[in-house]
Chain A
Amino acid sequence: MIPTTYYIVLSALLFTIGALGVLIRRNAIIIFMAIELMLNAANLAFVAFTRMYGIIDGQVFVFFVMTVAAAEVAVGLALIVAIFRTKHNIDIDQLNNLKG
């Protein structure tokens, strides 16, 4: 059988890729996708630990994470489309109106 560590390392790698995506990309939609990657990495760790300890609470948390992710994507993409409508650009390096 595979040790739980393999799943946890996979989750850590996925999270790192997602975090890198948020840090280095300039396109807002790609940043959204990278956030989804990080949420998936967290979910993977939850499910792996659920399987390891045999209690269901981890899977309940995954359920709630998915709910929040769906809400976040709905609002976030609406915001991106609204920003695109006014600025005709979703490059986050250009979105610096609030910079002091």
Chain B
Amino acid sequence: MTGMDSLFLIFAVITLISAFLVVTTKNLFHAALWLIMTLFGVAAIYVLLNAFYLAVIQVIVYIGAIAILMIFAIMLTQRVMNPSGRIFNKNWIIAALLGAFMFIGLVIISMQTGASKTTLPQISGQLDTVSELGQALVSPNAYVIPFEVASVLLLAALIGAIFVSRKR
């Protein structure tokens, strides 16, 4: 077992345990902190997969913006921060069965993609995924139109959020 393998195992275990705690913790604030831990674990796995730019963006956008926004929302709805009643709804047995079936189905489907036989190819020298990604985003025969549409979507979401949450 090489260093990379053990790093992968450590980060995978951290990610899964904190993800599990996100959906089972009673305290909302603790759930948000576990969510941040999960997002860090996923960012670390991006680094292992050579996606350095996405790892940084994961930390900045997901942890720096989305998770902090969640914490803001939790604090604005303070009274429900520590729910007193049961935290799961009545259908949890059916949901658990459904989840197990879904996991098995996902694994079976992913086995058919050929991923099981392939190990990750060795990286030859300095693979510059950042400039490749940047070129793909702005090149006219790649993703420039979705890129512009995404910026319009962000603007629309911003205005929509202000409109929805303003005082009437």
Among A7, A19, A90, which residue has its beta carbon within 8 angstroms of that of B102?
A: A19
Chain A residues 1 to 50 lying within 8 A of chain B, measured CB to CB, are 1-10, 12-21, 23-27, 29-30, 32-34, 36-37, 40, 43-45, 47-50
Chain B residues 89 to 140 lying within 8 A of chain A, measured CB to CB, are 89, 91-92, 95-96, 98-100, 102-103, 106-107, 110-111, 113, 115-122, 129, 132-133, 136-137
Does the CB pair A20–B5 fall under 8 Å? no
Nearest residue, chain A, Cβ from B106 = A12
**Bound CA span A10–B49, Å:** 13
Does the CB pair A54–B121 fall under 8 Å? yes
Does the CB pair B69–A74 fall under 8 Å? yes
Does the CB pair A10–B16 fall under 8 Å? yes
Does the CB pair A70–B66 fall under 8 Å? yes
Interface secondary structure of B, over-half rule: helix
Does the CB pair A24–B106 fall under 8 Å? no
Among A23, A36, A75, A78, which residue has its beta carbon within 8 angstroms of that of B98?
A: A23
User: With A34-B22, A60-B136, A75-B164 in contact, is A10–B15 under 8 Å at CB?
Assistant: yes
Does the CB pair A29–B74 fall under 8 Å? yes
A-chain residues with CB within 8 Å of residue B2 when the two chains form the complex = 1
User: With A9-B107, A52-B118 in contact, is A24–B57 under 8 Å at CB?
Assistant: no
Among B19, B39, B156, B158, chain A packs the most CB atoms within 10 A around the CB of B19
A-chain residues with CB within 8 Å of residue B74 when the two chains form the complex = 29
Among A2, A14, A45, A48, which residue has its beta carbon within 8 angstroms of that of B19?
A: A14
Does the CB pair A62–B80 fall under 8 Å? no
The answer, yes or no, to whether A69 is at the interface (CB within 8 Å) is yes
B-chain residues with CB within 8 Å of residue A12 when the two chains form the complex = 103, 106-107, 110
Does the CB pair A3–B118 fall under 8 Å? yes
**Please, what's the 1-or-0 string for A56-79, where 1 marks a CB less than 8 Å from any CB in chain B?**
110110111011111111110111
B-chain residues with CB within 8 Å of residue A99 when the two chains form the complex = none
Does the CB pair A74–B133 fall under 8 Å? no
The distance from the CB of B102 to the nearest CB of chain A, in whole angstroms, is 6
B-chain residues with CB within 8 Å of residue A91 when the two chains form the complex = 80, 83
Does the CB pair B23–A51 fall under 8 Å? no
Task: List chain A positions with a Cβ less than 8 A from chain B.
Answer: 1-10, 12-21, 23-27, 29-30, 32-34, 36-37, 40, 43-45, 47-52, 54, 56-57, 59-60, 62-64, 66-75, 77-82, 84, 88-91, 93
